[in-house]
Amino acid sequence: MKHYIIILLMCTGFLSNAQEKNILSDTINLDEVLVKATRLDEKAPFTLSNITKEEIEARNLGQDIPVLLNFLPNVVATSDAGNGIGYTGIRVRGSDASRVNVTINGIPLNDSESHGTFWVNLPDFASSTQSMQLQRGVGSSTNGAGAFGASLSLSTNGIREKAFAEVGFSGGSYNSFKANTQFGSGVLNPNGKFKAEFTGRVSRIQSDGYIDRASADLKSIYLSASFYSDRTLIKAIAFGGHEVTYQAWYGIDEETLNTNRRYNPAGEIYSEEGEVVDFYENQVDDYKQDHYQLHINHEFGNNWTGNLAFHYTYGRGFYEQYENDADFSTYGFEPIIVDGEEVNSTDLVQRKWLDNDFYGTTFSVLKNFENVDLIIGGALSQYDGDHYGEVKWAQYGSERVDQRFYENTGNKTDFNIFAKAEVSLSDQWVLFGDLQYRNLNYEVSGIDEGPVPVNFEDQNNFFNPKFGVNYFLNKSNFYLSYAKGHKEPKRADYMANAEVKPESLDDFELGWHYNADKFRLKTNLYYMNYKDQLVLTGNIDDVENPIADNIGKSYRFGLEVEAIIKFMENLTWGPNLALSTNKNVDKYYDFDGELKYFGNTDLSFSPSVVASSNIKYQPVKHLNISLLTKYVGEQYMSNLELEESKLDGYLTNDLQISYELVTDKLFKSIVFTGLVNNLFNVKYVSNGYFYTYDDTWTDPNEVTTITGAGYYPQAELNFLLGVTLKF
């Protein structure tokens, strides 16, 4: 009984990819446990892409992870600063980052309240990543926020047998620069019963950004210590980052896009006549985030293996804004008399703070029977977040400086448990089953900006079953799966609408894979049927977080095709194509003072065509050249199919070159890398927002809906060059 209790406490913790050649051959195969607990293998009837360390390194010159994933099927990446450094985002099948579940070594990364993943807080994390897996759709059960578009699983670097050191530099357009150093002790006491290994990384990234003043100053660190024997692995990991970025999340209107597309309205200071006379130099986002993970993996014998992990994340920081003619009442100021006239507004500088703690445990146990692989796992986490704002300077009302004008807390408890079984009926038939129960308790209380009292609590219980079958025949396999998903609203959704509801999704996947020596093909059809989907309205809040609202029925139906064609030993082509229709069913909306029927409209930010291509050529050994092409079709930024809310489609090309010079002297090798982004200098926009509001000023008896759009232009032709020295 004692062993069963221990097993139930074990958890999905760490595992790097032990198939890498530098992982010790005498270490136990605990990596397979994590792969099966948080990822899917080739027998699973779901749709996924695997990204190896070699693929990550080929393009890793300082841009964020969403940009590195841009050429995967049905993925669209975007960047606030325009050049992939700083705040970046990702959409999969039209679903934004808040609907993409992200884990690092099985530990949830998504913010508990906004559900977003802010890669700017972990600059250069790709350098410490061993592999990634992107599951499109609901996928299998994992820890953290519900996956309504995809799940992204990252595994950090594994144990390396020999001591090593690397120093890398890269730089290029817009004064972009990256420097990092990586090091490792190699295995200490290799012939002993207990072994140890230590690794680390320190990075610095800077860029002015394509957009005016969209600068980024990013620092990060990664440290790990591994202790292991034949049956046990204990790994402690600490990593984190500090980012200071000048804000670039405001976007620009169409006129500015056509006349001055690099303009940044952040920090505008107006004269009394309403003209821009200067920009506030400290209009920045300043945030630190520290992560700590402890992973314990043990093989009990008789094909039982367990994992237990503990984690803690501490985040704190602020964004600072210059406000023109701010209303006294918002900040608790009392009206004052100046030169005989009452003053009730002022120019001021405000800071909005977020200070939060996120901690918990994840656990799993794996049992291999003769024809059955069984996994039982889950997680328990607690989030405590403090939100508050302070006035740092005011033209009038200086007595309120450094006092808080709003303060509230958000507390969230998240528990889930799941059981997965993979049953091999024969060499041809494999069945998959996955049951997950998730319990959530979210509470917000205090005073929000306005000032507005906030006090609400919501509890949700979700049951998410998933089933599938995979049939293997010669070089082909065919799969069919069904997955149920539920997702709770975000903090911003609750704040905007007290009646907001959780959403649910039924995801059906039908696929065919063909695998031959010189030709590989993956195709799948998907149908994602939503109830009460929280669809992006197109509006954003004051820090670019998208605002969503429940709609009735909606769906996504699509075809995804990807291939690898080997023309010669040194020439391959990897195309992929996604065709889809994404619809609101019977869309109604208040427009011009009345409820109007818009019919079956396109879902916002959901292009019907997304395609990529990667042509790889190796003219000589150690020299690799790739031409990467990306096409994203037109899309709407609202759910009303209004022409003024449309983003045009775009086609871009990148050229990637790398050469490794192997030497027996001071360096083991020197790797030279070059990347030319947007080779043909296309002026395009990958993201934006669209707003509507009712206007009664012209005629109080008549409501007119006013619309407007904002755009985030991306960089024109630009380049990055890098060199890595390996000792």
Residue 586 has a pLDDT of: 87
* Structure tokens belonging to residue 570: 């040194």
Question: C-alpha 565: how far from its chain's center?
Answer: 30
Task: Quote the pLDDT of residue 7.
Answer: 27
- Beta strand extents in 74-125 (DSSP E only): 75-79, 88-92, 100-104, 107-108
Residue with tokens 């069963």: 4
Distance CA 509, CA 578 (A): 14
Residue 698 confidence (pLDDT): 66
Beta bridge partners of 479: 470, 511
Please indicate, yes or no, whether the overall pTM of this predicted structure exceeds 0.75: yes
Amino acid at 498: A
- CB of 383 within 8 A of CB of 414? yes
**Which alpha helices (H) appear in 227-352, and where do they start and end?**
254-259, 328-331
Stated as kind and residue range, the H or E segment containing 587 is strand 571-591
pLDDT for 3: 34
Q: What pLDDT was estimated at residue 704?
A: 83
Q: What is the pLDDT of residue 538?
A: 61
Say how many CA atoms lie within 13 Å of 148 toward its Cβ.
27
Check if the beta carbon of residue 557 is closer than 8 Å to that of residue 579.
no
Virtual torsion, Cα 144, 361, 69, 476, nearest 10 deg: -80
pLDDT at 147: 86
| Residue-range domains of the chain with CATH | 2-726 (2.40.170.20)
For residue 39, give the nearest of 27, 51, 21 by alpha carbon: 51
The DSSP line for 452-487 is EEEEEEEEEEEEEEEEEEEEEETTEEEEEEEEEEEE
State the pLDDT at residue 303.
86
Omega of the bond leading into 451 within 30 degrees of 0 (cis): yes
Helix, strand, or coil (residue 726): strand
* Per-residue model confidence (pLDDT) at position 301: 83
Which regions in the chain score pLDDT beneath 70? 1-37, 537-546, 696-700
Cβ contact 714:678 at 8 Å = yes
Long-range CB contacts for residues 640-644, cutoff 8 Å, separation at least 24: 640/587, 640/589, 640/591, 640/598, 640/601, 641/598, 641/601, 641/602, 642/690, 642/707, 644/690, 644/707, 644/709
- Mean pLDDT score of the chain: 90
Phi and psi angles of residue 30, each rounded to the nearest 5 degrees, phi first? -70, -15
Each as own residue / partner, the long-range contacts of residues 563-569 (CB below 8 Å, 24 or more positions apart, any chain) are 563/519, 563/520, 563/521, 563/522, 564/519, 564/520, 565/518, 565/519, 566/517, 566/518, 566/519, 567/518
SS3 672: strand
Q: Is 446 exposed, middle or buried (0-12, 13-18, 19+ CB in 10 A)?
A: middle
Phi and psi torsions of 329, nearest 5°: -60, -30
* pLDDT at residue number 514: 96
pLDDT for res 542? 58
**Of 134, 160, 149, which Cα lies nearest the Cα of 38?**
134
DSSP state of 175: G
Q: What are phi and psi of 7, to 5 degrees?
A: -65, -40
Output the pLDDT for position 541. Answer: 62
